[in-house]
Every structure is written in C-alpha cells, then in structure tokens.
Amino acid sequence: MKSNTLINKFITYYRPHMKLFSLDIICATLVAVIDLLFPMLTRMALQDFLPDMVDKNSSLRPFLIFVVSLVGLYVIRTIVQYVVDFYGHVLGVRMEYDMRKKLFSHLQKLSFKFYDENRTGKLMSRMINDLNEMTELAHHGPEDLFISLIMLVGSFFAMIFIEWRLALCVYIFIPLLIFIAIKRRTKMSRSFKAVKKEIAEVNADLESSLSGIRVSKAFTNERYEIEKFDKGNMKFRGSKDEAYKNMAIFMSVMGFITNILNVVVIGAGGVLIYQGEMDYADLIAFTLYVNAFLMPIRKLTQFVQQFESGMTGFERFVEIMDIEPEIADKEEATSLDDVKGKIIFEHVSFSYNHQEKVLEDINLTIYEGMTIALVGPSGGGKTTLCHLIPRFYEINGGKLTIDNVDIRDMKLASLRGNIGLVSQDVFLFAGTIRENILYGRIDASDEEMVTAAKNARIHKFIMSLEEGYSTNIGERGIRLSGGQKQRISIARVFLKNPKILVLDEATSALDNETEILIQQALESLAKGRTTIVIAHRLSTIKNADQIVVITENGIEEKGTHDRLLTDGKLYAKLYHAQFKGYIPDHI
C-alpha cells in the first residue's frame, strides 16, 4: 500500500478524539516554547542581571525575582508535560481500542473460507501485538513531529540572532543528517516488517501447541513440540536481531554526527571569543540552542524507528480490514418471516478452491417438516452440503432456496437465526454451563434454559454439581466428558428453537444409553421442523422420511430405509457392512 494512502487512513482514526488530540498538541506546544525560552533567558541573566549586580553593586532582588519566575515557568512546564504524557497515551489507547473493536467486528463478518486459510495465532498477533505498537505511534507521532518543528524553527532563528556564523556551521550538518535518515529508513522498514511476520508465526505455533497439549502429552511428543516451537522462535530472534542492528547503525551514526557538531560549535565559538567577536554568555546560550536544535533531530531519529514499527502494524491491520467479506447481505436482502422450512437445491455446485469440485450439480428437495438423512462414505460432501444452507460457504453454481426464496436474498442474521446446528466436533466456550447453554439464545430466561437442559437430558447431571449451572467447565469444556459436552451443545439448540435443524453426527460421542435418550429428545424436537441428519450409524436414521446416499459422484440414491434395503444398492451394502461385517467394494 502507498505510504500516503496508509497515512491518510491512519489520520482518520484521530477524528473521534479531536478534543483530546488538540489538548495534547497545545500542551506539547507549551513545553516546546518554554524549552526555547530557557537559553535566551539564561543569556539575558548572564549579560544583564549578573554584570549589573557585580559592577554597580545593585540589589539582588531583581535576580531573585528572575529565578523565581523561572521556577514558576518550570512548574507550568511540569503540569503540561503531565498532560502530554498521560492524556497523550490515553489518546493512543483509545485509538487502539477503536481499531481493535473495528477489527474484531470485521473478523466476525468474514466467511469460513477466510478462517480455513488463516491461522488463529497469526490473527491474534495482528489483533494484539501490531495494534499495541500502533498506540505509541498514535501518541508520539504527531506530538513529536509538531514539537520538533517548533524547536527546529525556534532554535534556527535564535542561533542566527546570537551568531550567524556559528549557525552556518550547524546548518551544514543538516543535509548529512537527512541523507542518513532516508538511507537507513528502507532497511529499517523491511527488518521491522520481518519481525511482525515472525512473531505472528510464533503466536500461531504457540496457539496450536497449547491447544493440542493433551495430544502431545499422550504421544510423549513434548520434545518435538519444543523443537518445533524453537525453530520459529529462533527465526523471530534472528529477525529482531537484524531489525535492532539496522536501528543501532542508524542511531549510532546519527549520535556521532550530533556529537561532532557540538565539538565544532565549541571549537568555532572558542575562536570567536578569542577574537573578541563573541562573549561567554553568547556561547553558552548558543550551545543550549544547539542542544535544543539537536533534540528534535534525535526525536525524529527515534520517530523513524517508531513510525516504521507502528505503521507496519497498522498496514497489517489495514490488510485485513480491506478484505471484503465473501458472504454479506445484499442491500435489498429480506428477513425470513414465518419460516416453513422447505429447502431446494437446484443444480448446486461447490468447491473450496474453485478448482476441484466437492459437490457437482446437486438437485435435492427437502419439504417442510421432513426429516432427511444424509449417509455415505466419508469425503462425499455431506457436511459441506449442510454448511451451504446457512451460507457458511457460498455456492459456486446453481441455486439454493428456503421457502422458494434464494438464500442469497436473505439477511444472514435472519437466515442463520432459523437454523440450528449440532455438530460432531462440539465447541464450548471457556466459562460456565449457564453461559454456554444461553449462547443458544442470550436473552432467554433461566426457566427456559432449564427446560432446554431437561430436554437435552443434562439437567440432572448439572444439578449434581456443587455449583450447578454456575460451574466453570474450563477451556473448550475440558472438565466435561464427551457426552456431557454434546448434550450441552444440544441444549443450546433446544433453547434456540429453530425451524430448521442440522444434526451432524449429533449423537456420535454418546454411550448407548444416553444416545437412546438424546435420540428420543431430538425426535421430539424435530416434530414440525425440517431436519437434516448426517449419520454414519445407520441404525439411528431408520425412521427418516427420506435417506439420501451421497458419494464423491453426487447423490446416488434416495428413498426410505426399507426401500433402499430392497433395492440392494450402495445403502444396503453400507447397512449390511455395519451389522454383518461385510465391507462393500465402493468404500
């Protein structure tokens, strides 16, 4: 992205906080003005007050008033410096908050495809690390630039006023300083961008390793995980070494030039004093102004590093913000009202990468209130077919309708609000049982939540716990068994009470006794609703209104359990394979 475009986007985040920004800049200006006044006041004291007191034996009172005035001036400086340091950082934090909030909201809109292609750890790095460094830039960037401008201009004219020949000596060094700053900036930019990339990799490896810690322990692969993590950590260390090396070269060279400049000023000033063309007061004041002149240059050198680091993080933030959601509401999208639940697939095709087809020319009608079962070998596209209904993925071809309305013409929130999904891979949030069940309908009452839990056959177990519904279940529900987690996820769907149910191996993690109980509960819930069941245990879908056999070739068979057994084709072979140990050739 072009630097100007990036900076313009960055500036827009100041607009909601202009009062705070203005306060910061005004106080920073006062700090700069006071710092510029001090050398001139020092010169005045040395040239006027002290000689008069010594030569004329006058009162000390004017000098003491002068000193007290300086103290008062620095009290004011301390107050405004506090404002700069505190409220300036508050400004940066608020901008960081706005960006992080906006980024999280944007991530919620992106499709499953985006998350298929991006690791969680890398996204967390962009959300936390990148925006954290942007905070410092947001605060110090404009402030340092503004103060530096005032100090450079003010000290420039002050040095000319005191001794123009010495001022020329200082100005000769400016082109050299600018040349070095520009020369080193490109290398610093590249190196700090590499640091961002490598820390994202480290975060991704860390997230993956910690999430799978129980697996690594079960296979005694702790050493392998340590070595794998260390490789990424070593790359990060190397990239940071390179970044700091470039920064150190930059800072060292700049420091050398500024120190030589001080030596030149003292040397040339000494010659002028020797020739009687300058006094000690002028040289002291001039030296103070040289430091005042060099201070913004030092700030600018630090700003270059801060700018590269902060803007690199902001650029990575913008990269995600510029990703248009693949699946979004149309302007004229409508809400689903009084849903019946009739679903029609018309010549539907889908692929994850727009190359290899997962589903090809699927034609299927699911009537309202109907229970349909999808069966077949793994990899045939059963789960993918179900994920197309709530538009987790966008179909590549054909048409998918609910109640004769294309799902692409519906509001996503309305569409998904009418679909309940219970999958084989249960995900529970860290928190309490209550919070996880209420996720089905956050505004539900406790009474409704308990009813849902009873319907899912989990209430009795919950009440046996010391803290009941307030029991903390740990990360991903680790304190619960597979069956208990599954029943809590089913309770969520009971609470949601959707018109369309998708049960993807919903009872796979349950023991036989619990499976029978849940099966009865699900059959009760399915009454009057359109229900799609994905099952590998064919005994659980005998009573389905229609069974659809899906393979990599598409839909191969459709019919009731009895009819498909009578036909003696793939379904019959799959069924007999489960109950008689026969393995068909198709699998």
pLDDT one-digit tens code per residue, 115-135: 878 777 778 777 777 787 777
Angle between the N-to-C axes of helices 131-162 and 18-44, in degrees from 0 to 180, rounded to the nearest 10: 30
- 481-529 pLDDT tens trace: 877 888 888 888 888 888 898 888 766 656 666 677 677 767 777 777 8
pLDDT at 583: 43
Of the segments 229-233, 271-275, 491-495, which one has the largest average pLDDT value?
Answer: 491-495
- Sequence-distant (≥ 6) Cβ neighbours of residue 241 within 8 angstroms: none
Of the segments 189-198, 313-322, 410-419, which one has the largest average pLDDT value?
Answer: 410-419
- 22-54 pLDDT tens trace: 998 899 889 888 888 887 777 777 766 666 555
- Class for domain 3-321, per CATH? mainly alpha
**Tokens standing for 440?**
């089905």
Confidence of residue 79 (pLDDT cuts 50, 70, 90): very high
When the pLDDT of each residue in the chain is averaged and rounded to a whole number, the result is 81
**Mean pLDDT of the 350-360 span:** 80
Q: Supply the DSSP string of 189-213, one letter for each residue.
A: HHHHHHHHHHHHHHHHHHHHHHHTH
User: Which residues on adjacent β-strands are paired with residue 498?
Assistant: none
pLDDT at 186: 64
**Nearest in space to 205 (alpha carbons), one of 228, 234, 237, 239:** 228
Angle between the N-to-C axes of helices 131-162 and 164-211, in degrees from 0 to 180, rounded to the nearest 10: 170
Quick check: 55 pLDDT over 60? Answer: no
CA distances from 292 to 278, 288, 466 (A): 20, 6, 68
Return the amino acid letter for 139. Answer: H
pLDDT at 301: 66
pLDDT at 209: 72
**Nearest in space to 295 (alpha carbons), one of 249, 269, 266, 262:** 262
Strand-strand pairing, 359-366 and 405-406: unpaired
Quick check: 582 pLDDT over 50? Answer: no
Q: Residue 344 has what DSSP assignment? A: E
Provide the CATH topology of domain 332-418+498-587.
Rossmann fold (3.40.50)
Quick check: 585 pLDDT over 60? Answer: no
pLDDT at 189: 66
Confidence of residue 263 (pLDDT cuts 50, 70, 90): confident
> pLDDT > 70: what percent of the chain?
88
Q: Quickly count: other Cβ atoms within 10 Å of residue 263's Cβ.
A: 9
**Nearest in space to 243 (alpha carbons), one of 301, 303, 308, 182:** 308
**Mean pLDDT of the 368-388 span:** 87
Listed by start position, the domains of the chain span 3-321, 332-418+498-587, 427-496
Confidence of residue 401 (pLDDT cuts 50, 70, 90): very high
pTM higher than 0.75:
no
3-321 and 332-418+498-587 agree in CATH topology: no
Region of poorest pLDDT, from 178-187, 446-455, 487-496, 545-554: 178-187
Quick check: 420 pLDDT over 70? Answer: yes
CA–CA gap between residue 148 and residue 338 (Å, rounded):
65
Quick check: 333 pLDDT over 60? Answer: yes
**Mean pLDDT of the 554-559 span:** 88
Any idea which residue has 């198709």 for tokens?
Answer: 586
Quick check: 138 pLDDT over 60? Answer: yes
Q: What is the CATH number of domain 427-496?
A: 3.40.50.300
- Higher local confidence (pLDDT), 201 or 413: 413
